[in-house]
Amino acid sequence: MSKTLASHPHTTSRLALSELAPGALQSEIRAMSTECDRIGGINLAQGICDTPVPGVVETAAIAAILAGHNIYTRLDGIGRLRVAIADKQLRDYGLRYDPEREVMVASGATAGLHAAAMALLNPGDEVLVFEPFYGYLVSTLKSMRVKPVFVALAEPDWVLDTDALRAAITDRTRAIIVNTPANPSGKVFTRAELEAIADAAREHDLFVFTDEIYEYFVYDGAKHICLATLEGMRERTIVMSGFSKTFSVTGWRLGYVTADAKWMGAMGYFHDLTYVCAPSALQHGAAAGLEQLPPEFYTQVAADHQLKRERIVAALRDAGLEPSVPAGAYYVLARASRLPGETSAQRARHLLAETGVASVAGSAFFRPGRGEDLLRFCFAKKDADLDEACARLRKL
């Protein structure tokens, strides 16, 4: 026994957390939400959109339960939804995926990334991640002992520095993660930036994982470009998206991956291992949405959120918190240097105490020591709640 314990130098007991288990179990975002609930505040911290679910999606999911669609599905999802996703990729981006072999329904884009990373990356590999970043992307890599290598985007417009991108590539680099439109910055990568990423990926033979969960949340005529459409990129791009945001069903845990058939078998294997399949009846709801909602639905999603963006940006300006105006997604990063505190967590807590509006500390989206004067506000809220939050911010 002592021999076995000696091989675990970090512990003298077997009743111990794994090497990978984080010390701080509660994330700052969750902590803010708890504190916000305690004081009855307005939660602009968590990215939970509480806008209504499209009727057709709701009705089809309920009907599917009543019709008995309550058992396991094929590990990559029901045929109807895979066909609808393939049709959507063709309609929106001109990308052809075989619904039998190149589309996987996942338990959220989150599970899609997890399965893709398990299938394609090895411990010790390096993956480039743009900063500011969505924390799950980084934590998922770390949970597989894959090393995130950060490439900082330049404030205030979060412009990509192509030289910095290229300088970050080493012999161990296997992939680049692109989240566009991005959480938390609202950046929508331009065609020129995506071309630069694609050039680097082709030159160094890298995968690109694209998180496109906010693909329909684009403002001021900005255009979402799916990186897989660029020359030579379809084979090496793993496209991840989902229904959480577009259909306001974050709790349904329903997303998808589209990629070349070469990679799909292994991804399906790992998704099956953790989730077995995505929720069966809810897959019918999402399929009905994709099949029946007209193009105007998607333009309306963007138009509605653009108006919400105007409201929060104006309120933040009035409050002296300098917002960086997002071109997409539904968050605003604002400079909060005028609030007291050494860290962004302290600034967020001060703002919550003073106004009852919860935000997320900027440090959650950067390497340690960075983002300390930034706060993130989510504006995918019902108008009444957003207006109340704006009124409270203005009293600051």
What's the closest the beta carbon of residue 304 comes to ligand PLP, in angstroms?
18
What's the closest the beta carbon of residue 180 comes to ligand PLP, in angstroms?
9
> Tokens 């906010």 sit at which residue?
214
**C-alpha–C-alpha distance, residues 87 and 76, integer Å:** 16
- Considering only 99, 132, 186, 255, the residue that binds ligand PLP (CB under 6 A) is 255
By CB under 6 A, tell whether 185 contacts ligand PLP.
Answer: no
By CB under 6 A, tell whether 47 contacts ligand PLP.
Answer: yes
**C-alpha–C-alpha distance, residues 326 and 197, integer Å:** 21
- Cα torsion for 97, 249, 366, 147, to the nearest 10°? -40
By CB under 6 A, tell whether 158 contacts ligand PLP.
Answer: no
Sequence-ordered list of residues with C-beta below 8 angstroms from that of 290, at least 6 positions apart, any chain = 81, 84, 85, 87, 88
- Considering only 93, 97, 134, 330, the residue that binds ligand PLP (CB under 6 A) is 134
Per the rule left: phi > 0, alpha: psi between -120 and 50, beta: everything else, 154 is beta
When CB distances to ligand PLP are compared, the closest residue is 108
By CB under 6 A, tell whether 173 contacts ligand PLP.
Answer: no
What's the closest the beta carbon of residue 181 comes to ligand PLP, in angstroms?
9
Residues 70-129 that bind ligand PLP (CB under 6 A): 108-110
**C-alpha–C-alpha distance, residues 290 and 247, integer Å:** 10
By CB under 6 A, tell whether 250 contacts ligand PLP.
Answer: yes
Cα dist from 274 to 115, 119, 350, whole Å: 9, 13, 40
**C-alpha–C-alpha distance, residues 119 and 111, integer Å:** 12
Q: Which is nearer to ligand PLP, 110 or 173 (CB)?
A: 110
- Considering only 148, 186, 242, 279, the residue that binds ligand PLP (CB under 6 A) is 242
**C-alpha–C-alpha distance, residues 67 and 381, integer Å:** 33
Query: What is the DSSP secondary-structure string of 322-335?
Result: EEE--SBSSEEEEE
What's the closest the beta carbon of residue 118 comes to ligand PLP, in angstroms?
16
Q: Which is nearer to ligand PLP, 217 or 392 (CB)?
A: 217
Q: Which is nearer to ligand PLP, 248 or 355 (CB)?
A: 248
What's the closest the beta carbon of residue 109 comes to ligand PLP, in angstroms?
4
Q: Which is nearer to ligand PLP, 99 or 242 (CB)?
A: 242
What's the closest the beta carbon of residue 320 comes to ligand PLP, in angstroms?
27
Q: Which is nearer to ligand PLP, 60 or 111 (CB)?
A: 111
What's the closest the beta carbon of residue 136 comes to ligand PLP, in angstroms?
6
What's the closest the beta carbon of residue 108 comes to ligand PLP, in angstroms?
3
Cα dist from 203 to 169, 189, 195, 197, 318, whole Å: 11, 20, 12, 10, 47
**C-alpha–C-alpha distance, residues 107 and 110, integer Å:** 7
Binding site for ligand PLP (CB under 6 A): 47, 108-110, 134, 179, 183, 211, 213, 242, 244, 250, 255
